[in-house]
Amino acid sequence: MEAKQYVDGVLKEINKTNPGEKEFIDAATEVLNSLVPVFDKHPEFMRAALLERIVEPERQIIFRVPWVDDNGNVKVNRGFRVQFNSAIGPYKGGLRLHPSVNLSIVKFLGFEQIFKNSLTGLPIGGGKGGSDFNPKGKSDNEIMRFCQSFMAELYKYIGGNMDVPAGDIGVGGREIGYLYGYYKKLKSLSEQAVLTGKGLTFGGSLARTEATGYGLVYFTDEMLKDNKTSFEGKTVVISGSGNVAIYATQKAQELGAKVVALSDSNGYIYDENGINLDVVKEIKEIKRGRIKEYLHSVPSAKYEDGCKNIWKIKCDIALPCATQEEIDEEAAKILVQNGVKVVAEGANMPSTLVAIDVFQSNNVLFGPAKAANAGGVACSALEMSQNSMRLSWTFEEVDEKLQEIMKNIYHNAKNAAHEYGHEGNILMGANIAGFMKVAEAMMAQGIV
């Protein structure tokens, strides 16, 4: 059978068997379409039904999460953990707490995680989880009770050699602390490598907090250098104001760029003089407030409700670090019209499939999420290594390893694109390079 026909057939089947799962189907479509040249070269992969197996999670767990709010009301949320692929190591991937979370979103994130984790070069499989719980406006005690109830079910399915969750949207150091504490209580054992993103006093890694944002900028910097340019003097628009956006801003500023915008789910700020990151950190990391409070400290900045128009700001480099599908066709066209040269994804799947087409057909350098934002999970794997060795590396040691990993990801993706006849297409290259390692492991392990 022709490779193209094979891939089309599997995509048709996915559409039939996963009705309504738009995010998962989009993620699978993007990856599968770029694998056609691989199946051309490796017909044995088709005979082993590699694609049919890789799009089917190894295990999906959906559970009830009841908890009691501060007023004594009983609330019920839905919890998820999708253990997608363990060919190269234990399932690894974050937990997302956001009202939009459903099975399709967890599956899309888990599917992406398989290839992202493979690209890091470290032995971690792909998984993801979360809940439709909305952490916005909840007290510390409510967050703790939710996390404990979530873990009261999840603990049965995870472990340092089995499945290692971490943070994602709505899950940071505070939540990982509560989840870890309850896991330890339930299992009566101190198994540090069961979760990553832990506090530094109980097995966390230095630089894990910064890793996704720093990694994004290291990756982008390598892409810029390879194209004979740099961050120096560039205007950058970054969406989001969570962990990824904050540390991407910090590193981009260190490399001489001017970051002029950040956002949250309510709206965005524009500061033509360059964002004052200390102000943002105070609002977001300490007060857990809203981005519009930036204007209390910097009244010359502008704030607009809603996030769509952030992409109308003229910039050289756009780093979407908020959430999936935040750049649609229209936003991509405006970015191109305004002269954007580089788009690199800090969030997972922030550009729609059509938006990616717009970037690529207009020669915008495009750094796809699974390559560009792999720094976070890479550092998580380094945290697992440190836990196994029962020692901890310095910030500089971890940061150095992270830089090396991000550079390697860029060059491996670039080389794979070249090898498979799609010179310069980092999206295809990342999909192919990530896939090859998983494919070889799956071939070696028989039909499982």
Which residues does the annotation mark as catalytic?
128
Strands 125-131 and 342-344: unpaired
Q: Which of 37, 57, 94, 172 binds ligand GLU (CB under 6 A)?
A: 94
Asked if 376 touches ligand GLU (CB under 6 A), the answer is: yes
**What whole-number distance in Å separates Cα of residue 150 and Cα of residue 144?**
10
Binding segment (CB under 6 A) for ligand GLU, from list 12-20, 87-95, 176-184, 350-358: 87-95
Least separation in angstroms between residue 182's CB and ligand GLU is 19
Q: Which of 52, 27, 26 is nearest to 39 (CA)?
A: 52
Stretch that binds ligand GLU, among 2-10, 26-34, 374-382, 438-446 (CB under 6 A): 374-382
Interaction between residue 93 and ligand GLU (CB under 6 A)? yes
Using DSSP bridges, classify how beta strands 365-367 and 91-97 pair: parallel, antiparallel or unpaired: unpaired
249 in a labelled binding site? no
Q: Long-range pairs for 293-298 at CB < 8 Å and ≥24 separation?
A: 294/262, 294/269, 295/269, 298/271
Taking CB under 6 A as the binding criterion, the range among 6-14, 92-100, 282-290, 413-421 that sits at the site for ligand GLU is: 92-100
Q: Copy the structure tokens of residue 145.
A: 């009770």
Q: Which pairing describes strands 258-263 and 91-97: parallel, antiparallel, or unpaired?
A: unpaired
Letters for 188-217 (x = contact with ligand GLU by CB under 6 A, - = none) are --------x---------------------
Residue closer to ligand GLU (CB basis): 209 or 235: 209
Q: Report the distance separating Cα 106 and Cα 126, nearest Å.
A: 11
Give the pairing of strands 59-68 and 267-270: unpaired
- Cβ distance to ligand GLU smaller for residue 148 or 380: 380
By CB neighbour count within 10 A (0-12 exposed, 13-18 middle, 19+ buried), where does 329 fall?
middle
102 marked as binding residue: no
Residue 120 makes contact with ligand GLU by CB under 6 A: no
Residue pointed to by tokens 């998983």: 438
Does 92 appear as a known binding residue? yes
Ligand-binding annotation for 385, yes or no, is no
User: What would the two tokens of residue 126 be?
Assistant: 């792909």
- Per rule CB under 6 A, count of chain residues that contact ligand GLU: 11
11 in Cβ contact with 28 (< 8 Å): yes
Diameter over CA atoms, the chain: 64
CB 312 within 8 A of CB 327: no
Over the window 300 to 339, marking each residue x when it contacts ligand GLU by CB under 6 A and - when it does not, the resulting string is ----------------------------------------
- Cα dihedral sign for 291, 293, 297, 301? positive
- Applying CB under 6 A, the span of 32-40, 164-172, 332-340, 394-402 interacting with ligand GLU comes to 164-172
Q: Which of 23, 30, 168, 326 binds ligand GLU (CB under 6 A)?
A: 168
Q: Determine the distance from the C-alpha atom of residue 311 to the mean position of all C-alpha atoms in its chain, rounded to a whole number.
A: 20
The residues of the shown chain that bind ligand GLU, judged by CB under 6 A, are 92-94, 166-168, 196, 348, 376-377, 380
Q: Please report, in range form, the residues annotated as the binding site for NAD(+).
A: 212, 243
Q: Residues annotated in the binding site for substrate, as ranges?
A: 92, 113, 116, 167, 380
